Amino acid sequence: MAQLQEVIVGRAANDSLDIVRQAGRIGALIRGIDLSEELPAPTVAAIRAALIRHKVIFFQGQHGLDDARHLAFAGQLGTPLAHPTLPVAADSRYIVELSSRKAQPAVPWHTDMAFLPDYPEISILRCVVIPEFGGDTMWANTATAYDDLPAPMKALVDGLRAIHTKSFEHLNTQKPVDERPESVERLRLASVAAVYEAEHPVVTVHPESGERCLLLGHFVKHLVGFSPQESQRLVAILQDHITRPENSVRWKWTAGDVAIWDNRSTQHKPVSDYEAQHRHVRRITLAGSVAVGIDGKPSRLLKPKLESST
């Protein structure tokens, strides 16, 4: 079946993009854009509008995008955010290096840094080296997953909250999450506590689209008010809705590809099926805001406990 094609018009100006949808509910390829060049504001606005709509967008042939231009483009979309623990590039604390030559465990379906109340809004991943076979990445739409829930299930999950946690064996105490004083203090305390923990609503309201999205994934420890066994069973049911084939897209990488996803309305999972081959990608994430549930209650940081917390 021929792929559907559309033109997205930017909200800020009459600026269009050549877009080819990759799946029915999520994913689109944008053609004719060179991310290594300084982009005009209307084009950036159109890219962001396409991202909010399609959840994950792809660009091919971006061979001119080095670390400096990767960071510059990220700065046009938002505020770069340094990861507190993952390996970073030698000359930039904002660029995470994900390489098969460094010991990194396989990662299940997740939303990036969901152990923070203000987890990233956007991630930008650049493919440097790709295996001859395998190494794809999958994304799932957490907004349509919520929409598909039966009404009784929606009534249950609308008021639920979940604890998301991440323990660290080695913390990079040289590089705070960002330069805000509260982030520096958060990392200092985490270096002692060796754990981040946040409480989130299970159903969040997307701050730009207004969509209701399921916030779950690998970092969920348990649901508030449920036993571990009950939590595991209920989360598994919801995860099955999120990762249904019709709710997902799978991207086969080529060197020079770039993927950008809305971390507030997706989960993703790298596929670890490339055996001993080399796979190297580089990622920048953009700072987000504290998540909010449909009842208006925000997410909150549990660990490390900041001195300013109440």
* Domains of the chain with CATH codes: 5-303 (3.60.130.10)
- pTM for this entry: 0.86
- Specify the amino acid at residue 73: F
Among candidates 96, 98, 132, 86, which has minimal Cα distance to 273? 132
What tens digit of pLDDT does each residue of 238-250 get?
Answer: 999 999 999 999 9
Integer distance in angstroms from the first to the last C-alpha of the chain? 56
- pLDDT grade for 100, boundaries at 50, 70 and 90: confident
Say if CB 125 and CB 283 are below 8 A apart.
yes
**What are the residue numbers of the active site?**
110, 112, 268, 283
So what's the pLDDT on residue 3?
Answer: 42
C-alpha span between 300 and 115 (Å, rounded):
10
C-alpha span between 4 and 171 (Å, rounded):
45
Residue 105 has pLDDT above 80, yes or no: no
More confident residue, 154 or 174: 154
